[in-house]
A and B are shown apart, each in its own frame.
Chain A
Amino acid sequence: MSFCIVARCARTGNLGIGIASEHLAGGLQCDGAIRSRIGATLMLHAPTPANNRLAMRLLEQGYAPRHVLSELCANDPDHALRQIAIIDREGRVALYSGVDAHPAAAASEGEACIAMIDSLPGEPVVRALRASYESGASLDLDARILAALEAVDSADAAAMRSVALVVYGAHDYSEVDLRVDMHEQPIAELRRLYDEYQPFGAYYDERAKNPRAALPQREFADMLARKGEGAA
């Protein structure tokens, strides 16, 4: 079982995905699934890894998400098994749930966002994802997607073993790409990881630009630890 949210931030145009899975390393399904300033896609239920890049190339050629969806289905004899979400840089969405997907599979599209789950517990998970995401407009996209994953009832998320949070902005590399590949409580672990990572992201950017003035990472980390102790 896997569930996900695929979204575009209306303020920044950033594109992001959050996915939780009972499979190991489910975050690998995000590989190639976002292209900066082009779009994002995700497939659940027997995903075919080649489809992510195919979908991004078709969007890049200028096709609308709905047409890309029809091309992906036409290209895939087993498309009736799949669930596919596509969102483009304008926030247009396209959503497909094949007739042979799991009977409890559910999907829902909102304003520049799609929530999906490929089997039980189905609908309640999608509702929780969407409700949280839509109430989080003041958050940055990464925090908003993480909060949506956290909003899924813990009983519904109990079987999860892996999770990923990926956001692309203006660059051809990710702004955020965090993964938990094998863990008993991957969403809680992602939160720990996310909170730990926050101060470092800006530090790495600054260090790259101005290495001569940069604090060595060990000193930066020690400084953060001292601050943490001071606050506790």
Chain B
Amino acid sequence: MTYSIIARCPRTGRLGVGTTTFSIACGRRNESVRPNVGISKSQAFYVRATDPLVLNLLAQGFSPQYIMSKLKAMDPDFEYRQIGILDRSGAVSAHTGKDIGQWAGHLVGDGYVAYGNGLAGRQVVEGIVRGFMAQPDARLEHRLLQAIEGGRDAGGQANNGVPRPERSAWIRVVDRLDYPEIDVRVDLHTHAVAAIRRVLEAVLAGR
């Protein structure tokens, strides 16, 4: 159970991830974002080493599509994984394995992947995209927040029709520097998406 967006801001080239999940402390996955290289965010039955490997391959110059084909070839449990890959040019590749269980899926667009598993249905990833596209000129961190809010408002996570709470959330945005411009987390909360809006707004206000 997780839903995420990884995206590149078309105006600035900044890269970012917004994610929320039932699991505790999803923001611990900071190895998934590498400035001037890209983002690889694996989820569902993810292997922690996958994202650094993907980013190493991106840094070598391979395309997201080619890297995804490599992952498929080397991983006997590829159908249990869900992965989004974004490079610094905005090229993307996404994979949703057929053995993840419950509803899982992704939508790709120009410079973004919206995806999730253990969701109420397709409307959730559509809600992520709707939130992301609501204010295309806004700063990327706001667009990522609106994206995960859009996913939540479209039904979020569910198991056999029973909603499951979002307990952690994370937004991280990088620019050209090798440390993040924005990195806010909610690690364990009964309404993590609402909580991360409060944290992001407070941090941006410099409070």
Say yes or no: A178 contacts B28, CB within 8 Å.
Answer: yes
Whether A24 touches B199, Cβ cut-off 8 Å, given contacts A172-B52, A217-B23, is yes
Cβ-neighbour of A218 out of B1, B25, B47, B51 (below 8 A): B1
Binds A, one of B121-129, B136-144, B174-182: B174-182
Contacts of A207 in B (CB 8 A): 45
Q: Return the chain B residue nearest A53 by Cβ.
A: B178
The verdict on B186 contacting chain A, using a C-beta distance below 8 Å, is yes
Whether A218 touches B177, Cβ cut-off 8 Å, given contacts A179-B185, A207-B45, is no
Whether A218 touches B22, Cβ cut-off 8 Å, given contacts A171-B48, A208-B46, is yes
Say yes or no: A193 contacts B25, CB within 8 Å.
Answer: yes
Which residues, 80 to 112 on A, are CB-close (under 8 Å) to B?
none
A141 to chain B, nearest CB (A): 16
Whether A52 touches B179, Cβ cut-off 8 Å, given contacts A25-B199, A192-B188, is yes
Which residues, 101 to 157 on B, are CB-close (under 8 Å) to A?
101, 118
Whether A50 touches B187, Cβ cut-off 8 Å, given contacts A177-B25, A208-B45, A208-B47, is no
Distance A192 CA – B188 CA, assembled complex (angstroms): 9
Main SS of chain B's interface residues?
A: loop
Distance A211 CA – B186 CA, assembled complex (angstroms): 27
The verdict on A212 contacting chain B, using a C-beta distance below 8 Å, is yes
Distance A196 CA – B183 CA, assembled complex (angstroms): 23
Say yes or no: A31 contacts B30, CB within 8 Å.
Answer: yes
Distance A214 CA – B44 CA, assembled complex (angstroms): 12
Which residues, 10 to 48 on B, are CB-close (under 8 Å) to A?
22-25, 27-31, 45-48
Chain B interface category by residue count: 35 or more
Cβ-neighbour of A181 out of B46, B180, B185 (below 8 A): B185
The verdict on A136 contacting chain B, using a C-beta distance below 8 Å, is no
Say yes or no: B177 contacts A50, CB within 8 Å.
Answer: yes
Distance A165 CA – B81 CA, assembled complex (angstroms): 28
Say yes or no: A211 contacts B22, CB within 8 Å.
Answer: no
Which residues, 24 to 55 on A, are CB-close (under 8 Å) to B?
24-25, 27-28, 31-32, 49-50, 52-53
Distance A181 CA – B185 CA, assembled complex (angstroms): 6
Whether A32 touches B49, Cβ cut-off 8 Å, given contacts A200-B24, A204-B23, is no
- B residues touching A (Cβ–Cβ < 8 Å)? 1, 22-25, 27-31, 45-49, 51-52, 77, 80-81, 99, 101, 118, 159, 164, 177-180, 183-188, 198-199, 202-203, 207
Q: List the 8 closest A-B pairs by CB distance, nearest first.
A: A177-B28, A211-B45, A211-B80, A173-B31, A49-B179, A208-B47, A193-B188, A197-B24
- A residues touching B (Cβ–Cβ < 8 Å)? 24-25, 27-28, 31-32, 49-50, 52-53, 171-174, 176-182, 192-193, 196-197, 200, 204-205, 207-209, 211-212, 214, 216-218, 221
